[in-house]
Amino acid sequence: MKCVAITSAKQLNIKDIEEPKLENGDVLIAVKKTGICGSDIHYWEAGAPVGMVMGHEYVGTVLDPNGCEDLKVGDRVTALPISPCGHCSACLSGNPQYCLETWNHATGLSLDYPGGLAPKMKIRSDMIIKVPDSVSDEEAAMVEPTAVGLHAIHLADIKVGDKVLIIGGGIIGLVSAMFAKSEGASYVALSETNAARGQKSVDLQVADEWFDAKENILEKMYQKIPNGFDKVIECCGNAPAVSTALSAVKPGGSVILVGVSLGPIQVPTAIAVTRELTVKGAIAYTKDEFKTCIDLMANKQIDVLKFLSKIVGLSQVQASYEELTSGTSDVIKILVDPNQE
Ligand SMILES: NC(=O)c1ccc[n+]([C@@H]2O[C@H](COP(=O)([O-])OP(=O)(O)OC[C@H]3O[C@@H](n4cnc5c(N)ncnc54)[C@H](O)[C@@H]3O)[C@@H](O)[C@H]2O)c1
Ligand SMILES: [Zn+2]
Ligand SMILES: [Zn+2]
């Protein structure tokens, strides 16, 4: 079958791979839609691992339940892409994100579980969640990044009236801003280096105001919020963004680091020390948070389709990565239909 795989730095190509071979606990699905994620962009930029088929945000229908009694052929499903062991104390306490096995065989993020940039994929039966009819394919493919934002907001512990800064206006920053508002933040600002995305965060009504990260951003923010933000959620993973996060939060405030940097970065930790900041990492989600996002979509309590910019076929995936990293495009979420060339 045709898929899109990593060839080298900033280069993806269409190639043929074998159809997935199921082992115990795997379910075969026909992929309907797969999202391109900011994390995938880091792998695309690095060009490694060569041959990896990305796509960890997906929706599909069951082709072979492989003995899984809860599923039948044709069921519409999505899944947590992670690979927790299922029996350590983290897994047993409902926190698979702490399990040491969680990323080792993650779907679309490892070589042994190719992702949704292919028409068929195997996924773990215990990570599957059925999608109700009231949730569209497009929404279902966006549950994963929505759950990342929800998890970050749960860790930020936002109080009614908090002033919150989100750094980075990709899908993760935008859903985090959306949930910060619904948690009662009285003012949500977003900073961006890409003016088109910054403006979009205000146009889509998830941010009250946006700040241009290319300008003297701290001076402008402190004019507006003289004491500093109560909470800052960093959704970029680079040194300037993390430095701004530490500098913009109030003394005693909290910074949630969601952005992932594949290599080490240099940031002024003295600010965190002298202002007694709480700096917390946020990774993935729990199964409950994943299900909550599906419920919120089913009940029409959140609208994530406003973040969907377009749906493309396999031959447009490389160009989509180029557009997403142009620094000027206002495109946010691109979904791929792997059944289209
Ligand atoms: N922790 C997790 O579980 C988790 C899950 C998914 C994604 N991520 C990470 O979150 C980050 C965001 O993901 P995304 O899908 O929204 O990515 P994205 O690439 O679409 O968005 C990042 C945005 O940050 C902006 N940006 C870059 N540097 C900036 C700076 N110094 N100041 C302000 N804005 C800046 C970019 O213009 C871009 O719009 C990525 O690093 C991704 O790997 C983490
Ligand atoms: Zn993702
Ligand atoms: Zn475990």
Q: Whose CA is nearest to atom 24 of ligand 1?
A: 168
- Residue 282 CA: nearest ligand 1 atom is 1
Give the number of the ligand closest to the Cα of residue 241: 1
Which residues, 6 or more positions from 32, have their beta carbon under 8 angstroms from its beta carbon? 58, 59, 60, 61, 76, 137, 141, 337, 339
**Going by CA atoms, what residue is nearest to atom 27 of ligand 1?**
236
For 48-62, the pLDDT digits (tens) are 999 999 999 999 999
Q: Which of 3, 39, 24 is nearest to 121 (CA)?
A: 3
Question: Over the stretch 194-244, which tens digit does the pLDDT of each residue have?
Answer: 999 999 999 999 999 999 999 999 999 999 999 999 999 999 999 999 999
Ligand found nearest the CA of 321? 1
Structure tokens at 289: 């948070």
pLDDT in tens, 79-119: 999 999 999 999 999 999 999 999 999 999 999 999 999 99
CA of 261 to the centre of ligand 1 (A): 10
Percent of the residues in the chain that have a pLDDT greater than 70, as a whole number: 100
Which parts of the chain fold into alpha helices (H)? 38-46, 89-92, 137-141, 143-156, 171-182, 195-203, 217-224, 239-248, 269-274, 287-298, 317-324
Ligand at shortest distance from the CA of 151? 1
pLDDT of residue 205: 98
Which residues does ligand 1 sit against, CB inside 6 Å? 37-39, 41-42, 148, 167-173, 191-194, 197, 213, 235-238, 240-241, 258-260, 282-284
Mean residue pLDDT of the chain comes to 97
Tens digits of residue pLDDT in 272-323: 999 999 999 999 999 999 999 999 999 999 999 999 999 999 999 999 999 9
pTM of the model: 0.98
pLDDT at 262 over 90: no
Q: Report the amino acid identity of residue 285.
A: Y
Whole-angstrom Cα distance, residue 27 to residue 210? 43
Average pLDDT over residues 130-137: 98
Distance from residue 144's CA to the centre of ligand 2 (Å) = 6
Q: How far is the CA of 307 from the centre of ligand 1 (A)?
A: 14
Domains belonging to the chain, first-starting first, are 2-142+304-336 (3.90.180.10), 147-281 (3.40.50.720)
Is the distance from CB of 217 to CB of 241 less than 8 angstroms? no
Ligand 1: distance of its center to the CA of 38 in Å? 6
As beta bridge partners, residue 278 has 254
Whole-number pLDDT of residue 202: 98
Amino acid making up residue 52 = M
Q: 62 is written with which tokens?
A: 């069951």
Of all atoms in ligand 1, which is nearest to the CA of residue 172? 16
Q: 19 with 120: CB under 8 angstroms?
A: yes
Q: What does the pLDDT read at residue 209?
A: 98
